[in-house]
């Protein structure tokens, strides 16, 4: 992946993994909408392509303070069921730099399933 790619029309792109469970697709759609909002609010970008392999750092050029904003958006959407700060606090710095949208989608899906099960 390279830097954010301008593209029209701005329709969220889903991961190519057709076998992914439906809830993974809906979480990806949620995250795509949150990231689109963040990129527009902070950087005036309204046409960035986002998929499971997109990295927060190199592809989206997000700074760590943007991830704090994203944590707030996740909190708004999922409440206490998903704790993004704790998820990142368990990671090494290099892992955070390489973090992909897909890895966050997996974490959100796992967290939501865990609270459904309990």
Partner 1 sequence: MAMVDTGAVRLHVQRIGPRVGRPATATVVLVHGLLTDSLASYYFTVAPAFAAAGLDVVMYDLRGHGRSERPAEGYTLDDNIDDLEALLDRLAVTGPVHLVGNSYGGTIAFGFAARRPERAASVSLIESEPATAAWAVKLGGILDRVVTQLAHNEPDAIRWISAHRGHNTARLAKGAARLARDTTLGRDIPASRVLTDSQIALVRCPVLGVYGGDSDLAELAPRLESALPDCRTVVIPGHEHSVLVEASGTVGGHILQLVEEAGRPAVRVAAEAAG
Q: Is 89 in the site for partner 1 (CB under 8 A)?
A: yes
Read off the tokens for 52: 């499971």
Q: In terms of CB distance, is 13 or 75 closer to partner 1?
A: 75
- Integer CA distances (angstroms), 93 to 86, 87, 89, 118, in order: 14, 12, 9, 31
Q: Is 96 in the site for partner 1 (CB under 8 A)?
A: yes
Given the structure tokens 């954010």, which residue do they identify?
Answer: 4
Residues across the chain: 118
13 vs 43, beta carbon nearer partner 1: 43
Cβ distance to partner 1 smaller for residue 24 or 87:
87
- Indicate whether 33 belongs to the interface with partner 1 (CB under 8 A): no
- Joined together, the tokens standing for residue 33 give 């909408």
Site string for partner 1, 49-88 (x = CB under 8 A): --------xx--x-xxx-xxx-xx----------x-xx-x
CA distance 26 to 46: 21
Question: Considering beta carbons, is residue 26 or 95 the nearer one to partner 1?
Answer: 95
Contact 3/59 with Cβ under 8 angstroms? yes
CB atoms within 10 A of CB 114: 11
Where along the sequence are the contacts to partner 1 (CB under 8 A)? Answer: 57-58, 61, 63-65, 67-69, 71-72, 83, 85-86, 88-89, 93, 96-97
């Amino acid at each position: 992946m390279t830097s954010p790619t301008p593209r029209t029309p701005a329709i969220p792109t889903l991961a190519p993994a057709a076998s992914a469970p439906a809830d993974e697709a809906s979480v990806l759609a949620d995250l795509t909408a949150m990231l689109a909002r963040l990129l527009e609010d902070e950087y005036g970008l309204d046409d960035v392509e986002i998929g499971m392999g997109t990295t927060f750092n190199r592809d989206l050029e997000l700074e760590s303070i943007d991830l704090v904003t994203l944590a707030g958006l996740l909190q708004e959407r999922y409440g206490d069921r998903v704790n993004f700060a704790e998820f990142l606090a368990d990671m090494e710095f290099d892992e955070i730099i390489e973090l992909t949208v897909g890895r966050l989608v997996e974490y959100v899906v796992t967290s939501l399933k865990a609270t459904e099960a309990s």
